[in-house]
Amino acid sequence: MAGIQNPCLVMTERSGPKAVGRRSWLRWLCWHLFTCRVERMTEVYQGSCLCAAVCYELLTPPTAVSHCHCSQCRKGHGAAFASYASVPRSALRILGGASSIKTYASSETVLREFCAHCGSTLFWSRSQGEFADWVSIALGTLDTPFKPQKQKHVYADSAVHWYTPSKQCPQVD
Ligand SMILES: [Zn+2]
Ligand SMILES: [Zn+2]
């Protein structure tokens, strides 16, 4: 083992000769195995609709978290705003209930997918244009814990008057 080179051992050499050796190597190995396990655990995100007829998984963490206050998203969700994050369409895998997913074209280029049995909003996507190969996931349907790095409120001008979004998130119109 002593002959194996790795960057952690080089780093610990700086903190003194005592830090170098089998203990450092074992510490590095444990940390490496732990982080690999954490990465594997958080790689796939699973979600489902209210009645669980539709189940899906995301092969990459969703990005670009946004809370949309536009009237269409509000009505589609029946809520103060809609929370979405996006993945490439190829990273969305429908595990069950594909035939239960219905699509509503809320405008010429926007498709909203929902469960035909329970009405849960599931996905938002564009039928053409720059981001047509991406899909936005209604974050409320995620079952796997998800903590975004950052998030923003969009179309805040259309926001309802009975709820004030957190000032911690930037607002973009
Ligand atoms: Zn359902
Ligand atoms: Zn919207």
Q: pLDDT tens-digit profile of 100-128? A: 999 999 999 999 999 999 999 999 999 99
For the record, the structure tokens of 30 come out as 């444990």
Residue 161 Cα to ligand 1 midpoint, Å, equals 30
Residues 6+ apart with CB under 8 A from 83: 65, 66, 67, 68, 138, 139, 140
Cα separation of 50 and 30, whole Å? Answer: 39
pLDDT grade for 12, boundaries at 50, 70 and 90: very low
Ligand nearest to the CA of 172: 2
Residue 71 Cα to ligand 2 midpoint, Å, equals 7
Residue 107 Cα to ligand 2 midpoint, Å, equals 11
More confident residue, 137 or 5: 137
Verify that 22 and 88 share a domain, yes or no. Answer: no
Domain count, the chain: 2
Tell me how far apart the terminal alpha carbons of the chain are, to the nearest angstrom. 57
Verify that 71 and 38 share a domain, yes or no. Answer: no
What share of residues in the chain are helix, strand, coil (percent, to 5)? 30, 30, 40
Verify that 51 and 135 share a domain, yes or no. Answer: yes
Verify that 80 and 132 share a domain, yes or no. Answer: yes
Ligand nearest to the CA of 82: 2
Question: Going edge to edge, which strands form the sheet with 45-48?
Answer: 45-48, 55-58, 92-96
Ligand nearest to the CA of 83: 2
Ligand nearest to the CA of 115: 1
Residue 123 Cα to ligand 2 midpoint, Å, equals 12
Question: Average of pLDDT values for 53-70?
Answer: 97
Residues 6+ apart with CB under 8 A from 87: 58, 59, 60, 61, 62, 63, 134, 135, 137
Verify that 38 and 95 share a domain, yes or no. Answer: no
Q: Residue 1 falls within a domain, yes or no? A: no
Residue 111 Cα to ligand 1 midpoint, Å, equals 18
Verify that 20 and 52 share a domain, yes or no. Answer: no
pTM (whole model) above 0.75: no
